[in-house]
Amino acid sequence: MQGLMMDYQLTLLPMLERARRLYPKKEIVTKAGPSLERSNYGELADRVGRLANALARLGVKRGDRVATFAWNNLRHHELYFAAPCMGAVLHPINLRLPGDQIVYIVNHAEDQVLFVDPTLLPAVEKLAPHLKTVKAYVVMGDQLPQTTLTPVYSYEELLRAEQPDYAWPALGENDAAAMCYTSGTTGNPKGVVYSHRAIYLHSMGLAMADSFGLVERDVFMPVVPMFHVLAWGTPFVCTMLGAKVVYPGPHLQPRDLAELIQAERITVTAGVPTLWLGLLALLEKERYDISSLRGMIVGGAAAPRSMIEAYQQKFNVPVIHAWGMTEMTPLGTISRLKSYQTSLPEEQQFAFRAKQGTPNMGVELRGVDETGREVPWDGKTIGEMQVRGPWIAREYYRDERSPLSFTADGWFRTGDVITVDSEGFIQIVDRTKDLVKSGGEWISTQEIENAIMGHPKVAEAAVIAVAHPKWQERPLACVVPKPDYKDSLTKQELYDYLRPRFDKMYLPDDILFIEAVPKTSVGKFDKKVLRAQYKDYALPTG
């Protein structure tokens, strides 16, 4: 038909070009030790061109994988654009994974060049003899330190030797731009490849007002690691919008984050609940000005309702609950109240905000029961969550396990168990592997955990299934008291707190006090460690 617009390819280069032309003065800040390093989008575009030329000189070709082993910083941001825009595939590696999993990931992806932060050199040096495809290493610092890696280059020396102009190729929107691997909780990690189109559409989704709602005037601090599903896609959307970015580097302690929020007047930040629980504990004891915050996005694990309430009531900071997965680029749902829900009593508002929310624009979602039928939107009936959409994977990269997770008609089986209420808000009641099967009844460990963490003396709580001779399984609660209550918090106090909230069968059969809940490589509670530790635990009788 005449008059139709020409086919426009949704690739990452226009994002970078837009930032260069419209927002060259907007800052990109990195916390480097005690000082802050400041750059801007004008300098970013110049350096990305130099970096693309350097990659080409190192032999990187279209389709090659370029790996990063790095913290959140400016150089990492530069790689987010240089590699994909020249036709290569960016591959951030989770630096907190065990060494054998990192070796598997690098070899399975066939990474050609590996960029590494200077502070992480010792870890890469140990693994280098086992990395079969890596042809060059680049140290992301000002100078080249002593290292056993070879051949090895200095990041800044490479850039100084190149020109900023690069002959960017005409890429297709379905070309691969980046890839990430799951954390490998069962078996080897699984690779997920993201196209330019998926990242572009996902970025537009993040910018929508009812999603992350980021705008040019924001000062955004991504605390979620850049190796964790591309920092949830936030470096891309910030570049697209020209928003100022503040990278914390490896400085993720509560005091570091509080100081950055106060000094740089952060407006929006994002990370997993464990980070914000730590910050909350600091803010309750020491005074920092966090009044600039208009949103704290929490994902990666369920945010306790008590935390959402505390930030809102004590500091007037809205905690915005989100959910997603590596296979989803990653955003799936966002918990924002509908217009008419803002007139509900505060108690009901918090009940909705504590859920994972409604599907983001572009995401289709359903709960499916054991017979394959979609569950009703009654807020009670549980089913496995399945999703599909333009930025959701259809298969894993070179992995025969794909049919177990992807249906023939294009839905991704998440492994999360949910309910959907009449407003379309989903609540993740558990992972399929974390549910407790007690006497034929499913018990959600997550609901019990969130309730326990609502107790003012509790810092963390994780609930696991323990074998029971009569009921098959029963819940065991592992609780970390806040430091001031380490010696005074009792089981009886917690049971008294829980009894009005749960029927008897849902109460834990026992409560253990522990030093800390084990964490995964991205800061989630690692319950498989607890299950292994307490697999033979004898629950009290009577």
Run of H or E including 203: helix 196-207
Answer whether 220's CB lies under 8 Å from 292's CB.
no
Which residue in the list 162, 264, 327, 384 is annotated as catalytic?
327
> What does the pLDDT read at residue 308?
96
Q: Which pLDDT does position 46 carry in this prediction?
A: 98
Pairing between β-strand 111-116 and β-strand 426-431 as defined by DSSP bridges: unpaired
CA distance 407 to 418: 18
CATH class of the structural domain 253-432: alpha beta
Q: Percent of the chain at pLDDT above 70?
A: 97
Rounded Cα distance between 255 and 295, Å, is: 19
Rounded-to-integer distance, Cα 152 and Cα 158, Å: 11
What pLDDT shows up at residue 297? 97
Residue 515 known to be catalytic:
no
First to last CA, the chain: 77
H helical segments located in 367-526: 402-405, 445-452, 491-498
| 285 classed as catalytic | no
What is the domain partition of the chain in residue ranges?
Answer: 13-211, 253-432, 436-533
- Specify the range with the lowest mean pLDDT, choosing from 32-46, 429-443, 449-463: 429-443
> CA 225, 230, 233: angle at the middle one, nearest 5?
110
Question: Pick from 87, 110, 287: which is nearest to 191 by CA?
Answer: 110
Instruction: Name the token pair of 266.
Output: 């952060």
Average confidence (pLDDT) over 231-247: 98
**What are 516-521's contacts with CB under 8 Å, separation 24+?**
516/460, 516/480, 517/460, 517/461, 517/462, 517/478, 517/480, 519/274, 520/183, 520/185, 521/94, 521/96, 521/97, 521/183
| Catalytic-role residue among 132, 437, 486, 535 | 437
pLDDT (0 to 100) of residue 184: 58
Fold: same for 253-432 and 436-533: no
Name the catalytic one among 11, 30, 68, 182: 182
Class of domain 436-533: alpha beta
* pLDDT (0 to 100) of residue 186: 61
The one-letter amino acid at 541? T
Give residue 7's identity as a one-letter amino acid code.
D
Cβ neighbours of residue 492 under 8 Å, at least 6 residues apart?
none
Q: By three-state DSSP, how is residue 348 classified?
A: helix
The pLDDT of 407-430, averaged and rounded, is 91
pLDDT value at residue 427: 92
Is the pLDDT at 432 greater than 70? The verdict is no
d(CA 479, CA 464): 11
Task: Pick the range with the lowest mean pLDDT from 29-38, 280-289, 292-301, 427-436.
Answer: 427-436
The whole-angstrom separation of Cα 14 and Cα 85 is 9
Mean pLDDT of 127-153: 96
Worst-scoring range by mean pLDDT, 210-214, 444-448, 513-517?
A: 444-448
Task: Assess if CATH 3.40.50.12780 describes domain 13-211.
Answer: yes
- Tell me whether residue 437 is one of the annotated catalytic residues: yes
Active-site residue among 286, 442, 486, 490?
Answer: 442
Q: Tell me how long the chain is.
A: 542
Can you tell me whether residue 57 is helix, strand or coil? helix
How far is it, in rounded angstroms, from Cα 317 to Cα 469? 47
Average pLDDT, the chain: 93
- The mean pLDDT of 76-93, rounded to a whole number, is 98
CB atoms within 10 A of CB 237: 23
The per-residue pLDDT for 535 is: 87
